[in-house]
Structure formats: C-alpha cells, structure tokens
Structure 1
Amino acid sequence: MMPDFDYDLFVIGGGSGGVRAARIASSDYGAKVAMAEEYRMGGTCVIRGCVPKKLMVFAAGHGAAMDEGAAYGWQVEKGRFDWMAFRHRLDAELNRLESIYTRNAESAGVTIFHQRATVSGAHEVTLADGRTLAVKHILIATGGTPFVPEAFRDAGAWTSNEVFLSDRLPASILVLGGGFIACEMAGIFQGLGSQVTLMYRGRQVLRGFDEDLQEHVAAALVGQGIGLEVNTDLTALERLEDGRFRATDTQGRTREFEAVLFATGRTPNTAGLGLETAGVALGEGGEVIVDDYSQTNVPSIFAVGDVTNRIQLTPVAIREGHAFADTVFGGKPVKVDHSNVPSAVFTRPEAGSVGLTEAEARKDHAVEVYIASFRPMQTSFIGAETKALFKLVVDRDSRRVLGCHIVAPGAGELIQIAGVAVKMGATKDDFDATIAVHPTMSEELVLMKKPTR
C-alpha cells in the first residue's frame, strides 16, 4: 500500500534552480509541489549575486563613460557617486524581482513556506515551525554560501552577502580573492570612487580561465588604478575602534582600510540541512553528490545548482532544475550537458570564455592558437591604453574551434553568440567563411588567418 504524501515534491531553496524545478513540475506535469525559502525568494542570483552585481557594474561604468565623453568633446561636470541614492533604487528593484519570483511560483500552483526546512528522512521534511511533512520527492536547491577563512570569520568584514546592504561607500577597501566575484567587486568599487587593493594568494587572478585572458584582465585592473597584489595572503586582520580595519599580509605590510571584502569563493550550502541523517552522500567540500540526472544515493532525494558544485552558474542551475522536472515528473529522462558552457566576468572591460583553454586543449589535441590583441577604435581615438583580446583555440586536424576567449567591452554579450558556434562544433574554416561586420571589434573573430602559435 502506497503511503499518503502531503506533496509530490518538496523543494528546499527558493533560488533560480529550485523555482524552475517547482514551476515545471507543478504547471507542466500536475505535481503537488511545495517549497521552503528561509531568506528571500530569488536566491543568490537575484538577491545577492548576479542581478545586484550587474547593476553595480552599470553604475560603476558611468564614471568612466563620463571621462570618455569629456575626451570626445562633451562638456561634462562629474560629481561624486551618491551611494545611498543607488542603494534605494537597488533595494526597490530587488523587492520587485523577489515579488515576481514569488508570484510566478504561486501562479504555477506551488505552495511556498517562508521559513527554513530540513530533511528529516528519505520522504520527510521538517519546517522551522515544527511541522513535519511527508513528501514523495525532495529537491535540494540551497545554493552556495560565501567562504571566509576560519581565522577571520569574526573580524566583521564583508562577504558578497553583505556588500549590497552597506549604507556607505568606503573610501578604501581591501578585496581578498582572485575569482569572478573578487575581480568584479574590485572593478566596481574602483569605478565608484573607492581606493581598491585586490589581494590574491595565487599566481594570477581568474584561476581556471585561459592564461592570455587572465593576463589581459589583470593588466586592465592595474591600468584602472587597482592595487593588484598576487602571491600574497592575509595573516592578520583587526577591527579598530573607529570601525576601520588593520590588515597584515605575507609580505610583512600592515595597512588600514575602511572596509574589507572576502571574495574567497563559495561553498555548498548544506550545513544543518539534515542530509547526513537521511543518508545522503556528501563530498569533501560539503557538496551533494548526484548522478547525471541530479539524483543522490537516496532515490527520493535530488539536488541541483551550486549545492552540487558542478558548475556554479545560474543558467546551469535553471537547466538542471528543468531537466529534473522533465525526468522525474514528465517521464522524459534528460541529462544536462555541462560541456562548453559560456561564462562572463563583468570586469572593465568584460571577459568571456567558452570551451577549452589553450592549456586544457593541449593535453589531448594538437592545436593552433589564433590571437588578436589591439586597442579598440572607441578608446584608441582618445589615447586610452586598454586593449581588447580575441583568441581562438583550434584543433589542428579537425579544424574544430575548441575554445573562444574574449576580453573587450561587451564580451559577455559576444561570448553568448560565440558559444553557439563552439557548442555546435563550428570549425575555423566556418569562422573564416563568415564575412566581417565592419567596423567592429568582433570582426577579429573571422579575420585571424594565421596562427599565432
């Protein structure tokens, strides 16, 4: 006899992946669905990640745009950035998006519990108010949480969770880390008027990206006036009585900053969820271990998004959530293809990447590398030194484009289009056969005739 379930699906986490799974399971396949979100609907991307970050990038870019306009002949009167005016507008926008996420889920028939939920069995979840629900399937979609080294967790520094909630723009800030968030935040605060030091313990920022892309982004950060300090780590951090921070590093320097931001990575948000009690296998970093269909070792429990630590990107979580619903409730088993996923880093200029880096490609392929590096027309006209980079990594035998890497204004938009070509297996000959759009930066993608190496 089948047990009685309160819900066919219970989703823990109201971010992009969880909401997509809940909506599709309910509206498309008629499942009885509930979800729990302990903070705000929309998750990391909408509330404290992609969306507020990109709006801050836009805000920071206007300062440089005014300088550029003046160089082009416009009469510009540039004042100070009004952080709180921006904050009020940002808060209103995030509230609007949160209400849309909530409304869309409820319109699809999903019941939302605005409280914490934990797993208390293979078919059981417990809400913070003490209620226990019997559920047929559980989906873990709790995302990630900022990582701060244990020695500095009580120092009062910011993480990416708090940076959008500040009521002031610091005159000086130390950003720790070398990944997406660290590089983007360094550029944002510099663009808004802060004095920025970016400290990273590794050899170069954006580890895992193509080396030429890394070097171009690093040069751009330095060119903007950011103090980039690689092969350097923090050894001590003290909060002073006036609220400032005193920081000591491995180079023996001690300096003071108005603010410190830890952008030292994110870890799967699984602590205290009860997964171990339910027998769900976790990896060394706390990630939920899943198969190609996002199923854990406990057949009734699944996981999607950053909590699985596969690829920490919102569109990936959304695709995984949709595939889960199709597989479990639609009777259409769907595997998500995690190869050739485009990504962008919203520095100034932006960086975009899809496919293999040159180093990755050389492991299994004989390759040709095509590189164009130049000063774009828009900025070279006014004497700016910032360079653009367009790079193709090509399999020498099949001529297939294995990777495309761009550092240029609008690289995030460009890499989306290039990603289609790389994903479908386009060859260098296909690129060469395409007539250029002139005058543009991106025409270099189809004009690089001779390999650089």
Structure 2
Amino acid sequence: MPPVKDGDENRIAHLVEKYINENDVMIFSKSWCPYCKKIKQALTSANIDFYSIELDQIAEGETILNELINKTQQETVPNIFIKKQHIGGCDKTLEAMKSGRVATLLNGTESKIESRKVADDDLDSYDYDLIVIGGGSGGLACSKEARSFDKKVCVLDFVKPTPIGTTWGLGGTCVNVGCIPKKLMHQASLLGEYFNDSIDYGWSQVEQEKSRQHSWSKMIQSIQSYIRSLNFKYRTDLRSKGVVYENSYGQFISPRRLKLTDKKGQTKEITGKNIVIAVGGRPKYPDIEGDQTYGITSDDLFSLGYDPGKTIVVGASYVALECAGFLHGIGREVHIFVRSILLRGFDQQMANRIGDFMSSIGIHFHHQTIPTRLECLEEGKPGKLRLHYRQTLESGEIYRYYEDCNTVLFAIGREACTQDLNLNQIGININKINGFKIKTKHEQSINCPWLYAIGDCIDEQTMPRGQPLELTPVAIQAGQLLARRLFSNSSITMDYHNVPTTVFTPIEYGAIGYIEEDAISHFGQENIEVYHSEFVPLEWSICHHREKVKTMSYCKLIVDKNTNRVVGFHVLSPNAGEITQGYAVAMRLGATKNDFDMTVGIHPTCSENLTTVSVTKSSGDAASKEGC
C-alpha cells in the first residue's frame, strides 16, 4: 500500500487530477522538448484541441513531474492523457492517432470498438491495400491510380433506388444522373433555339415548322444508350486493370473492416489497410406531404419513361436552373419556385442576370415561395399534380396558393451519402448542418487520420469557404493525387483554389476564382477594381427572336489593385464553358489585368471581350459595348 499523501503533496496530487479531469486532451510538457513540440504540431494539424502546461516554466513543475512519475511510471515528457486515460509520450500518442484510438476516445466510442480495432491493427495482412467505397468519378480515379502502383484494390458501388424506383449502373452521379445527361439535354434545348435562329439565316420557316417536333422518348433512348455504354466501359476498365469490383453496399464494422451487402441481401466482410470514402451525394426532399410519393429529383429525370409535360421545379440551385432551362428549351412549360436567392454560393450579380435572361425567354419564376403539400389529382404518366405553397409578398403578407402541373422536380440541394455507413462506429460524427459531410484536411479525416474521403461527401478545410466545388474534375484530380500520396511518396495535394466551373443554363455562366461578394470581404472594397462589359454575340445579332436577350451577355474581371492580379473571372454568354476552360490556365498561373490586356483576341468571338474589357464599375460608366 502506498503512503498516504498529506499537506503539499496531497495538494499537488489533486492539482494533477484536476488538469486531467477538466481537459479532454491534457499534455504535461516542457517548452524546450522537441517531442513535446512534435505532438502539439500533430494534434494541431489534426484539428484536435488540447491544453498543456510547461513544467519548466512554473514553480511547481518538478513536483508535478514527480507526481506524474508516481502515477504513470513514465519519467519523460510529454506525458499525455486523453479523456482521463493515460496515453503515454509522443510516439504512443502518434500511434494512437494513426490507429484511430484518439478519435474514438474523443467521440465516446472507445468501448464499442476497441477490442475489434486492436484485432484489425494486429493483422499480419489485409485483404486489400485500398478499399474505395463509391464507384463514381473520384472513386474510380483513385482506385485505378492506386492499382498503377501494383496495389491490391477493391471498389464498392451500390445504388439505392430512388423513392420511385430509379437506379443506374457504375460511374456515379456524373455519368448517370448528372453532368453527362444534363449536358446532352442542354444541347437538345440549344438545337431548338438554333431552329428559331435558322429562319433569319435563310432556312425555310415552313420546312422548319413541319420538322420541329421534339420526342422525349427518342431523346431518353439515345442518352440512356450512351450512358449504358459508359457503364460497360467502366466495368471492363476495372477488370482489365485488375481492380476488384463489388456491386455491394459497404458499412463499417471497425476502422479497417467492412461488411458488404449485395442486392440479394448476402453479406461478407473484408479488410483494408487504407479506406477511401467516395460515396458522393443524393438530392434532398423538402419533407412535405407527398414529396417522395409524387415528386421526382434529378436522379429520376434523366431516365424518366414519359414526357414530363408542364413542370414545376422547386429550388434555385444550379441543378434547378439547368433542368428548368433545358425543359423549357425543348418546349415544356416550366415554373421555378424560389425560396430566397438564385445560385447560393455563386456571384449574385451573375445569378440575377441568369434569372432575368430565363424570365425573358418565358420561364416563370415564383419568388419567396415555400411548398407545403403535393397531391395527385389524376393518375397517369404523366398524371396531374397540385403543389400547394405559401408565398411572402413584398408587403410582408403571406398568402397560400396552389399550382397544377404534370411533374414536380425537387432540386433544393444535396446531402452526402454517409448516413448509413456506420461512421459512428469508428469515431466520426456527421450532422445535417453541413449536409452529413466528412470533415477533412487534404482529403484526410480530421477525426480519424487513417481514413480518407474525396469528392462531394467531404467538408474540406482547404476549400474556399462557401464556393460550390461538387465537381467531377475536382473529385477525379483529388482521387488521383491521394493515391499518389498513399502509394508513391508524393507530397502534392489538391489545390481547391481557382477551380473553373460552368452553369449550363440557357445562357451559360462560367466562373473562376473569387465571386465579387467574397473579393470585397477578403481584399476590401477599396482594394479591388471590377472591369465589366455587356456585349452581343455576333450569332444573335441578326436573330429577331433573340431581340429581348441579345444584349444580356456579360463579363467581368475582378482585380486586386495591389498586385494587378485577376482574382475573379466571370462570363455569361453562349459557350461560356468552352471559354472558361481556357482562361483557367491563365488564372492558375496568376495572370494580371495587363496580361489580359496584352492578349490579342480572336475576332469575332464572345471570348475576345475578356481581352478588351476596360470599363470599371467604380467609374459609373455604362458597361454596354460600342462597335464590333
């Protein structure tokens, strides 16, 4: 039995216990110790808060150290406690971080998984060097890159059907229900506009009217046939590269062990030394009566087996505006229900210009509206639906209305597909506030450093705040770079700044870098200059049916006055996607306004306006362009 402490010794013992009990992560340190500095840096990098006292800088330091030696039989510093448990010194704490023990202690799941986790960590070998959960753009890119380093790789991909039963093949959102079918339907709508343009270019109006009949079923058949060919290509590509493909749903049992469930309900377990979560996201529903029974989302639209007819699009996201745009372009009546602002996260001047353009071509906007109930009036394909909603008028009065239609498309945002992965079993907490995304830094989980995530399911610390970067090329590059860091000693990380993007609305919007609101916030209003110009695309100049919108094309460059560097690029015009991609290289290389000015434009193009724009917002002069 140890001697009973009294007096000063008893006070020191209570003081040590107080430090340990009141701090989740408690470090007893010395200011000159390199190992103390190393563990503090590691904890800071992992975004783990800690409290430390420097024993060499306080009068009672040596007495506290002696008490720690008696308590832990450890004579060195740092001496670290987490959630009242003694971890040890620097090396043992780093090992605990790597294994996930630190995260599970901090998240309160240690008792649930510790025995299984230790068993996983003690394995002589794993089934795979890398398991990727998710067969979308990022997951496939990461898995194939890892396989190029002769690693044993497995990809899991399983699509849960939508409420109306829609499902699809390997390739993720982009290929099946995103970028690819969206762009093809956007092209279908543009072809309809070209029909109208052709009259003023000398093509016979009579012949045009006879031939202009759009077939929804023919378009769907052509697009889905192409998508199926891509699904097949991805499967054969994985096979030829030696990547194991499991059409199963993966769930965590412990940090490196997954339970796989296939469509027949059969299960098995696999282990992986490294695991990457690349599950992407799915559209949200508004949680109103009838939403999942009678409504659809973009997950359903691109393979819809019947003509949608008159469509209400609920939401003002880029998905909402893009879908509304191409549905209108192929001749369907479209109404957009907007709760607050258009294109949250994008430049609001550009967003409002898109709204003005879409209104001018006949798309109906209902602002300040919130859906309350969706009911079916007549069954059919399409049937007849009634959407009830409330609307706040400019006076502040709230009225309740309804609108009848054939189809209601919900496009109110997306949530990461992480809720059914059993992430709580490995110490990762997700919440609705950030769309159930996994917090990461350089694609590495902040809570569990041995776990990785890429693509639309991450809340990445190094991303510019508020800018929407749920983009296929971002996921692909992040996945490839992550595989190189894991298996080829690379240190190159994903750069989420100056990522180009385009919204494929009827008039396309391309953007790189800062939106104007963020530039003002970051640099200060007095430190930026905005150069802008309105222009008429030459191709529209002789088209009478474009009269209302021909002057709506617009571009602006946001410039840091101190460096003359272009920090924001925005263009609203036909083919904005093709325009923006080229300028992305210049923006990445730090192009200045002088670089843009000294670049010779190609005439006559929309893109050349970015090389000649000279009117500043601060001047107050009109942005309209004169001459050719």
Describe the SS at the equivalent of 2:424: coil
- Give CA deviations for 1:244-296 in whole Å, capped at 9, x if unaligned: 21112223221211000001111111121111112224354311111224345
Q: Structure 2 counterpart of 1:342, which letter?
A: P
- Give CA deviations for 1:11-55 in whole Å, capped at 9, x if unaligned: 11100100011001112x111001111132100000111001111
How many Å apart are 1:73 and its aligned residue? 1.3
1:151 aligns to what?
288
Select the residue among 460, 467, 471 that pairs with 1:313.
Answer: 471
How many Å apart are 1:89 and its aligned residue? 1.1
Deviates more, 1:299-308 or 1:191-200: 299-308
User: 1:357-368 residue pairs with structure 2 within 5 A?
Assistant: 357-365=515-523, 366-368=527-529
Describe the SS at the equivalent of 2:299: coil
User: Under a length normalisation based on structure 2, what TM-score does the superposition of the two structures give?
Assistant: 0.70
Describe the SS at the equivalent of 1:14: coil
1:269 aligns to what?
417
CA distance in 1, matches of 2:218, 2:522: 52
1:347 maps to 2:500: no
How many Å apart are 1:356 and its aligned residue? 0.6
On the 8 A contact 1:296/1:303 being kept in 2, the answer is no
2:243 aligns to what?
110
On the 8 A contact 2:555/2:570 being kept in 1, the answer is yes
CA distance in 2, matches of 1:42, 1:88: 19
On the 8 A contact 1:34/1:111 being kept in 2, the answer is yes
2:480 aligns to what?
322
1:4 maps to 2:165: no
How many Å apart are 1:321 and its aligned residue? 0.6
Describe the SS at the equivalent of 1:151: coil
Tell me the C-alpha RMSD between the 2 structures: 1.5
Larger radius of gyration between Structure 1 and Structure 2:
2
1:299 aligns to what?
449
- Give CA deviations for 1:296-354 in whole Å, capped at 9, x if unaligned: 52233211100114421111111111111011111212321111111100011111111
Change beyond 3 A, Cα 1:403–1:256: same
1:234 maps to 2:374: no
CA distance in 2, matches of 1:237, 1:45: 29
On the 8 A contact 1:293/1:327 being kept in 2, the answer is no
How many Å apart are 1:195 and its aligned residue? 0.3
Select the residue among 435, 449, 453 that pairs with 2:614.
Answer: 449
Select the residue among 238, 244, 249 that pairs with 2:384.
Answer: 244
Select the residue among 230, 235, 238 that pairs with 1:97.
Answer: 230
On the 8 A contact 2:438/2:445 being kept in 1, the answer is no
On the 8 A contact 2:285/2:292 being kept in 1, the answer is no
CA distance in 2, matches of 1:307, 1:208: 17
On the 8 A contact 2:342/2:348 being kept in 1, the answer is no
On the 8 A contact 2:600/2:611 being kept in 1, the answer is yes
Task: Choose between structure 1 and 2: higher helix proportion.
Answer: 2
Task: Give the gaps of 5 or more residues in structure 2.
Answer: 1-121, 160-168, 392-399, 461-468, 619-628
On the 8 A contact 1:341/1:419 being kept in 2, the answer is yes
Deviates more, 1:403-412 or 1:330-339: 330-339
Select the residue among 429, 432, 435 that pairs with 2:600.
Answer: 435
How many Å apart are 1:449 and its aligned residue? 2.3
Change beyond 3 A, Cα 1:86–1:158: same
Describe the SS at the equivalent of 2:440: coil
How many Å apart are 1:171 and its aligned residue? 2.2
Select the residue among 147, 150, 156 that pairs with 1:36.
Answer: 156
Select the residue among 176, 185, 201 that pairs with 2:339.
Answer: 201
2:41 aligns to what?
none
- Which structure's relative contact order is higher, taking Cα pairs within 8 Å and 6+ residues apart? 1
Q: Structure 1 counterpart of 2:308, which letter?
A: P
1:225 maps to 2:386: no
How many Å apart are 1:240 and its aligned residue? 2.1
CA distance in 1, matches of 2:542, 2:355: 23
Q: Structure 2 counterpart of 1:165, which letter?
A: S
Q: Structure 1 counterpart of 2:454, which letter?
A: V
On the 8 A contact 1:296/1:302 being kept in 2, the answer is no
Change beyond 3 A, Cα 1:373–1:412: same
How many Å apart are 1:417 and its aligned residue? 1.2
- Give CA deviations for 1:377-404 in whole Å, capped at 9, x if unaligned: 2112223232211111111221110101
1:45 aligns to what?
174
Select the residue among 322, 343, 351 that pairs with 1:214.
Answer: 351
1:382 aligns to what?
543
User: Under a length normalisation based on structure 1, what TM-score does the superposition of the two structures give?
Assistant: 0.96
On the 8 A contact 1:146/1:161 being kept in 2, the answer is yes
CA distance in 2, matches of 1:333, 1:37: 28
On the 8 A contact 2:510/2:580 being kept in 1, the answer is yes
Describe the SS at the equivalent of 1:250: strand
1:371 aligns to what?
532
Describe the SS at the equivalent of 1:5: coil
CA distance in 2, matches of 1:140, 1:157: 29
Task: Give the gaps of 5 or more residues in structure 1.
Answer: none
On the 8 A contact 1:22/1:35 being kept in 2, the answer is yes
How many Å apart are 1:8 and its aligned residue? 0.9
- Indicate the percent of aligned positions where both proteins have the same amino acid: 33
How many Å apart are 1:112 and its aligned residue? 0.3
Q: Structure 2 counterpart of 1:381, which letter?
A: I
